[in-house]
A = this chain, B = another copy of it.
Amino acid sequence: MKLFTYFRSTAAYRVRIALNLKGLPAELLPVNLVEKKHTEAAYTDLNPQGLVPALMLESGEVMNQSMSILEYLDEQYPLPPLLPTGPLERAEVRSFAYEIACDMHPLNNLRVLKYLENDLGVGAQDKQTWYEHWIATGFTALEQRLELRKPPQQGSFCFGNTATIADCLLIPQVYNALRFNCDMQPYPLINAINEHCLSLNAFEAARPENQADA
């Protein structure tokens, strides 16, 4: 498999973690977002949406959207599982992931920050406040969710003692928050999970600073 990636893309970071957790080898092909390589035909012919990541299978088929890729990997390569087996537990893990994928990340990604700056003339301080606002709104709700966990969901990962797609989403989002100097002090449970995950090879190897294109 080949993963079209960019070292700082949190959506690509999610997939890098999942591939590592599954022990799946993939060739990483950097798409430089700053040089706008994602808008060039060489890439948009493969992924019309022009965002990273995209996964090319051995068959040559290309799929986009990190959440789709995570679900695909878990269906095709079930071990170790990234979703629990119980229907309610699956919904809980997915909801945690979607709160990041749908309600945090999209508001703070590069194209939106550029729109605020270039099209709406939003200044640096207001842009920072915008960024921090969506991080705080999202992480406050997620920290509260983590506080409400009961055994066996309490553990070193978001849900118990096994990594799930929730962790694949959380760790890159924390990276983003720290990169933009957001205050992470109000979220001790998130911080503990982040620290634990980054002590593991699968997460460590996926870190932006450990990518060839960093």
- Measured CB to CB, the residues of A under 8 A from B are 48-51, 57, 61, 63-65, 67-69, 71-72, 75-76, 87-88, 90-92, 94-95, 98-99, 101-103, 105-107, 112, 115-116, 119-120, 122, 126, 129-130, 133, 141, 144-145, 148
Q: List 17 A-B contacts (CB under 8 A).
A: A51-B103, A65-B94, A65-B98, A68-B98, A69-B91, A71-B91, A71-B94, A72-B87, A76-B87, A101-B102, A103-B106, A106-B107, A107-B107, A107-B112, A115-B133, A116-B120, A119-B133
Per a CB cutoff under 8 Å, which of B68, B95, B105, B148 touches A65? B95
Indicate if the CB atoms of B90 and A75 lie closer than 8 Å: yes
| Min CB gap A62→B, angstroms | 10
Known A49-B141, A51-B103; 11 more pairs at CB < 8 Å = A57-B88, A63-B88, A63-B95, A64-B95, A67-B102, A102-B102, A102-B106, A103-B106, A115-B133, A120-B120, A120-B126
Per a CB cutoff under 8 Å, which of B65, B72, B119, B148 touches A102? B65
Cα distance, A161 to B127, chains bound together (Å): 45
Q: Copies per complex?
A: 2
Indicate if the CB atoms of A72 and B91 lie closer than 8 Å: yes
A133 surroundings in chain B (CB, below 8 A)? 115, 119
Cα distance, A112 to B133, chains bound together (Å): 11
Question: Known contacts A107-B106, A115-B130, A133-B115: does B49 contact A68 (CB below 8 Å)?
Answer: no
Q: From A104, which residue of chain B is reached at the shortest CB distance? A: B106
| Min CB gap A40→B, angstroms | 15
A91 surroundings in chain B (CB, below 8 A)? 63, 68-69, 71-72
Indicate if the CB atoms of B50 and A68 lie closer than 8 Å: no
A122 surroundings in chain B (CB, below 8 A)? 120
Cα distance, A114 to B82, chains bound together (Å): 36
